[in-house]
Chains A and B, each alone.
Chain A
Amino acid sequence: GESVGLHLPTLSVQEGDNSIINCAYSNSASDYFIWYKQESGKGPQFIIDIRSNMDKRQGQRVTVLLNKTVKHLSLQIAATQPGDSAVYFCAEKWSGGSNYKLTFGKGTLLTVNP
């Protein structure tokens, strides 16, 4: 998994498997978290977000889990498809600070093998 501040890790899965992408964040005051997907040659695309008063949020084929105790965030993708191949970034925000400051992790490269 990735950490806001480390080299780009990779994850390779088979089509149809579930994928889990991890992210460790550093600011214990962060209270809003977002996952972005970035396909090759494109800009980041919003996937799902979660507030710090929640520990789980589900979207279409994606689930985000938040563990504030250990400052850990994960993105689960069900039945991974080749179109899911991309770099996935987590980002954190602290609403008590500069509202414009969104801190990004360095990303995890997900490769889906057909």
Chain B
Amino acid sequence: NAGVTQTPKFQVLKTGQSMTLQCAQDMNHNSMYWYRQDPGMGLRLIYYSASEGTTDKGEVPNGYNVSRLNKREFSLRLESAAPSQTSVYFCASSVWGRAADTQYFGPGTRLTVL
């Protein structure tokens, strides 16, 4: 039982390049999330997927797209990377999105955009 896994761990992009961050969970969770974490700031929600087949915008969705590929996998795509997207990206999952449903986080992807 690996929990939440993310690939890659590190990535450097040039401005304008595109890439997809991958996330998978093996806990049979229904809800999945993408956050970004910037220095001196808390985690901010980019997009979430309440259940397989649905996705919704979070607090900072501009410049990103997501795909809930199946129940296990939730990917985040940067179509045209910008330096402002330099950050650490975390994927999380929970049973559902209820208040008492703990969100479990992956190890993160450290992205630098030059």
Contacts and interface: CB of A to CB of B under 8 A. Distances in A.
Interface of A: 4, 7-8, 31-32, 34, 36, 41-46, 49, 51, 89, 93-95, 98-107
Contacts of B2: none
Contacts of B103: 46, 102
A39 to B, nearest CB: 10
A34 B98 contact: no
Contacts of B105: 36, 43-45
A104 B98 contact: no
21 contacts: A32-B99, A32-B100, A34-B102, A42-B107, A42-B108, A43-B106, A44-B90, A45-B105, A46-B102, A49-B100, A51-B99, A89-B43, A93-B99, A94-B99, A99-B99, A100-B31, A100-B48, A100-B58, A102-B103, A106-B40, A106-B41
Given A34-B102, A44-B105, A99 B43 contact: no
A106 B103 CA distance: 17
Interface residues of B, number: 27
Contacts of B41: 106
From DSSP, what is the main secondary structure of chain A's interface residues?
loop
Interface string B16-38: 00000000000000010100000
Given A46-B102, A95-B98, A89 B40 contact: no
A99 B97 contact: yes
A49 B102 contact: yes
Contacts of B4: 43
B42 A89 contact: yes
A102 B58 CA distance: 10
Contacts of B99: 31-32, 51, 93-95, 99
